[in-house]
Structure 1
């Protein structure tokens, strides 16, 4: 059970700062111990030093964000959204830079060449972003791209347990986002999506992961069986044809479109670290150089189907397109 907000502020937030100071003071010890332990492993598996460096960098940035949030609160700026979006942009930019240096991360984004009309519309209307959900840190990478590269103000529905992270807890709760308890059910998630979509302005971007979770073969089988049990034979058959994605749950996306009919829809695909789902996977199999390829497709609001059944087929059409793109990317790497 998540502790009350006042307890999280008084205990968890200071604890991060104390842990940061401790790690910085004892860093030479951890580097020596990790280096000694890594000598017994082959070079591709010597990830300990990189994880220590990244962990210290993350804690330091978390502490900086918490101190900045405290200053904003004292100075009366706790309700100023642009300052908090700027703070998140700074944090994610530094995390991204650390990942580039420490894990040799490279990100390649394929995007269509916009027409002059599309280029002018990019920041004059809101967007609904529908992204696949796979691999570590995909949410952070997507939010970083939206904030730092495309200058958007993202909104997202997240699991309530993420509030155990003090910086997320403080900053995200000061912005138009939503945390939902684990047992709240899909209906509550959809209600929060409607609330966030209905109040979007020109530079806002609502981020939705229609799969509802990371892809695994077991989850794929269960999702197909669930569609069959509901009598959705067409959707089940189309889901069987997708090798890398879970079938999309349409209610959230359709609710967002209905709540904000002027928004363009952006479909996002990415691949590169798909098979690294758990922390154990990352520890055992993170490559020496990490490369992520992403691609997005933009659908103007006027081209979004009007009827619900047509929207579901349209959503599956794009999901099949993403699946085919992932297949092509993996074949290109072999």
Structure 2
């Protein structure tokens, strides 16, 4: 059970700062330990020092965000949304730059322009593939940095154990939902966030509801069959890299903000790195992520529910085919 907010502020936030100071002061020791540990590991896993560096940088950035949030609170700027979006943008840019240097991360994105033909910025609903722990960070970073959009997202309540995420995100139009709250609350929060969007905002949704695994894929197909959705189950069987999309969230967002364009996001490169164990064992020496964005103008979004479900599956199949093509090209390269 998540501790009360006041306890998280008084215990978890200061704890991060204390741990950060400890890690910075003892960094030489940890680098020596990491180097010694690397000698006992096979070559693909000799990356201990890189992880230590990244951890220290991450903790330092988290502590900086917490100090900045405290200053905003004291100065009376806790409700100034633009300052908090700027803080998130700064944090993600520093994390991204660090990953580029430490893990030699490279991200190639084929993307459309988000304003419509008249040059007027529209709100957007982003429907993205869910794969690995870093996809959300990269997506939010790109929306803030490249398109200067203000992301909104519905997240699991457990993420509030991260103090900086807890403080900043709770000061902005986002939503945290308990794990066992059910789809009804999630849909209500999506509808609430979508209904108040302006041309500067972007609502991010992951229709799969979780990372792809073969077991989850089979369970999702079985669930569709139990509901009598045999056409959707058959289409799901044809997708090798994705879980079938859950349409209710996307449809709720479109209904609440019919003026929004819809952007579909596909990405691949670190698909198998889901857990910390996966990252430790399989993170390549050079990390390369490829992505593609498809923009659908609001006027081209289907009107009826059944048409929207078919349209959503159409794009999900397109994303699956694109991922297959990327894997084939990577093997040939």
Q: Same fold (TM over 0.5)?
A: yes
Aligned to 1:54: 54
Q: By how many angstroms is 1:41 displaced?
A: 2.2
Equivalent pairs, count:
331
Distance in 2 between residues matched to 1:283 and 1:264, nearest whole Å:
38
Aligned to 2:253: 256
Spell out the pairing of 1:284-303 with structure 2 (5 A cutoff). Answer: 284-303=281-300
Aligned to 1:20: 20
Contact (CA 8 Å) 2:190, 2:252: kept in 1 or not? yes
Distance in 2 between residues matched to 1:293 and 1:199, nearest whole Å:
32
- Pick closer, same or farther for the CA change 1:59–1:204 going to 2, 3 Å: same
Aligned to 2:190: 193
Q: By how many angstroms is 1:111 displaced?
A: 1.7
SS at match of 1:155: strand
Distance in 2 between residues matched to 1:178 and 1:312, nearest whole Å:
25
SS at match of 2:153: strand
Aligned to 2:276: 279
Aligned to 1:231: 228
Q: By how many angstroms is 1:136 displaced?
A: 2.6
SS at match of 2:176: strand
Distance in 1 between residues matched to 2:13 and 2:103, nearest whole Å:
27
Aligned to 1:120: 119
- Pick closer, same or farther for the CA change 1:115–1:294 going to 2, 3 Å: closer
Contact (CA 8 Å) 2:154, 2:205: kept in 1 or not? yes
Distance in 2 between residues matched to 1:278 and 1:117, nearest whole Å:
39
Root mean square deviation of aligned Cα? 1.1
Structure 2 unpaired stretches of 5+: none
Contact (CA 8 Å) 2:115, 2:122: kept in 1 or not? no
Contact (CA 8 Å) 2:44, 2:281: kept in 1 or not? no
Q: Deviations over 1:86-118 (max 9, x none)?
A: 000000000000000000000000124x59953
- Pick closer, same or farther for the CA change 1:116–1:258 going to 2, 3 Å: closer
Q: 1:171 aligns with which of 158, 168, 173?
A: 168
Spell out the pairing of 1:103-252 with structure 2 (5 A cutoff). Answer: 103-112=103-112, 114=113, 117-118=116-117, 120-121=119-120, 124-252=121-249
Q: By how many angstroms is 1:44 displaced?
A: 2.2
Distance in 2 between residues matched to 1:192 and 1:40, nearest whole Å:
49
